[in-house]
Amino acid sequence: MPTRLREVPIHRTTDLSLYRDLDGFDALTAELRSLGAEVSRAMGRRKVWMISSTASGGGVAEMMPRLCSFLADVGVEARWLVLEPGEPEFFRMTKALHNMLHGQPGFDDPAGARAIYERVSEEAAQELRQIDRGDIVVIHDPQPAGIASRLRERCRPPLLWRCHVGIARRNRWTDEAWRFLRPYLAHYRRLFFSLLSYAPDEWLDRSRELCPGIDPFSHKNRSLRPYKLVGILRSAGLVDGPPVPHWAAFRERVCRWSDAAWVEAPIADLLHVPTIVQVSRFDRLKGFAPLIPAFRRMVEFCAKEAPRLRADSERVLSEVGRAHLILAGPDPAGIADDPEARDVLEELCGRHAGLDPTLRERVHILRLPMADVKENALMVNALQRIATVAVQNSIEEGFGLTVSEALWKRTPVVAANVGGIAAQVRQGSDGLLVDDPGDPEAVGRALLQQISSPLAAEAMARSGRLRVREHFTILSQVRSWLHAFGAALEGGDRGPSPAG
Ligand code: UDP
């Protein structure tokens, strides 16, 4: 199978004027219109090409359609291409690179990895016939980064690299990953990182910070009236109820791991008990596995300590005593660039099987279908809204959009104090941060605190929502991109010479 770059059609799903009326966005929408007009004039007939590695699953795929649609709203044509490598080994190799950028072990065979990467990059560059001289090319993440050197030779477009992954600390694995990428990154005029601290020192002068953001009106985040919320959970097969009308039926239902098999069956009492929810890709670095012992510790602490904790200890005991833990992620079959997800999910199911039966009934591993992006987004939306506490227990985290998603919904958050999460949540003001996601005591205590003190938890979530509005919505991101395109067109901030 040859390597391809498949174009994903962009549908105009956004309408900037709607945001004007959303609390506090009027000034920003006006700014975007005038900035957009300026950049659009400078671009003339030129386009922006976004190139990434998957059209579904994960933060980049989540953001891209709406980002391109917004750019179109302000007059900038953006097209989206997805890399489909001809060699199945390619995504294994880039997953190892991804892990290394997060400070974890990666390549077994660095020379072999480079050979695969070079071949696929070369083939992909050959595929890029659509690009006209002067178009702006934005390449996302390490997977397609190697395409740039070939383009540079051919049509010399302004090349920008957007890196959505990374950590601030360095170790031998991060060093090896950056060494691997060095010859390819030499060709980019600008490098954009979710946090500037992720940029290697040697490229600091060419690097900029560009925060990702959520879209308040997307299916993932839009508000849901109670009947819609319950309808989505019914369509997904997670709660019982009268049959859904045929037009509201989902193409596929959620699968739940139960008694050593995947079943499509509702979770009894889902709407009647407190729930702790983590929604993420099934990736080891997302910290799903340590959440299970943390949940157990939370239940134990409560039994032991509730009488001392508060006057209404009976209520706390009864609530925590009935709480459920939901670990949800996309069906690995639906995510092309993450070949490890299957193994991670299997391990998690193995741990579930080892739980004692009373706890096992309260821990749910959910595989969310990916066949329909909109349905998947609505399921995530509903789960984040029914959550009493949303968790993001990541061991490492580039940014962690799920945190902003939960806070936008005013759902109290417990999250690991790592990477982009620490930039989103101020400890104790917007949510609770845990220094060591692998420490069940610390995570269990934070969960207990959020469930047992609902007023304080909600106050934090309200503050978190304001912070998301200020810094982490897609509108702020569109503004950053418009500035980046403007600067790229002026060419006043060129990176290194083509020789790199
Ligand atoms: N997500 C999704 N469907 C799922 C599970 C997760 O759309 O079944 C989304 C999630 O809502 C979030 C994104 O995937 O928008 C994950 O982005 P994040 O920045 O948290 O992590 P990444 O996957 O990029 O490492």
Q: Tell me the C-alpha distance between 195 and 210, whole Å.
A: 7
Region 468-476: mean pLDDT is 94
- In this prediction, residue 262 has a pLDDT band, given cuts at 50, 70 and 90, of very high
Q: What pLDDT was estimated at residue 495?
A: 40
Least confident interval from 284-293, 329-338, 408-417, 467-476? 329-338
Residue nearest to atom 17 of ligand 1 (CA): 59
Tell me what the pLDDT averaged over the chain comes to. 92
- Kindly report, residue by residue over 166-209, the tens digit of the pLDDT: 999 999 999 999 999 999 999 999 999 999 999 999 999 999 99
- Kindly report, residue by residue over 16-67, the tens digit of the pLDDT: 988 888 878 999 999 999 999 999 999 999 999 999 998 877 778 888 999 9
Q: What pLDDT was estimated at residue 154?
A: 66
Burial 327-355 (b: 16+ CB within 10 A, else e): bbbbbbebbbbbbbbeebbeebbebbeeb
Position in ligand 1 atom list of the atom nearest CA 212: 19
Residue nearest to atom 14 of ligand 1 (CA): 58
Residue nearest to atom 11 of ligand 1 (CA): 402
Residue ranges lining ligand 1, Cβ < 6 Å: 58-59, 62, 220, 279-281, 329-330, 368, 376-377, 380, 398-402, 405
- Total residues found in the chain within this entry: 500
Q: Tell me the C-alpha distance between 438 and 221, whole Å.
A: 29
- In this prediction, residue 499 has a pLDDT band, given cuts at 50, 70 and 90, of very low
- In this prediction, residue 304 has a pLDDT band, given cuts at 50, 70 and 90, of confident
Region 437-448: mean pLDDT is 97
- If one counts every other C-beta atom within 10 angstroms of the C-beta of residue 413, the result is 28
- In this prediction, residue 337 has a pLDDT band, given cuts at 50, 70 and 90, of confident
Distance 44 CA to ligand 1 centre (A): 35
- Kindly report, residue by residue over 198-237, the tens digit of the pLDDT: 999 999 999 999 999 999 999 999 999 999 999 999 999 9
- If one counts every other C-beta atom within 10 angstroms of the C-beta of residue 318, the result is 13
Q: Is residue 69 a contact partner of residue 10, using CB atoms and an 8 Å limit? A: yes
Q: Is residue 199 a contact partner of residue 126, using CB atoms and an 8 Å limit? A: no
Q: Tell me the C-alpha distance between 219 and 376, whole Å.
A: 9
Distance 342 CA to ligand 1 centre (A): 16
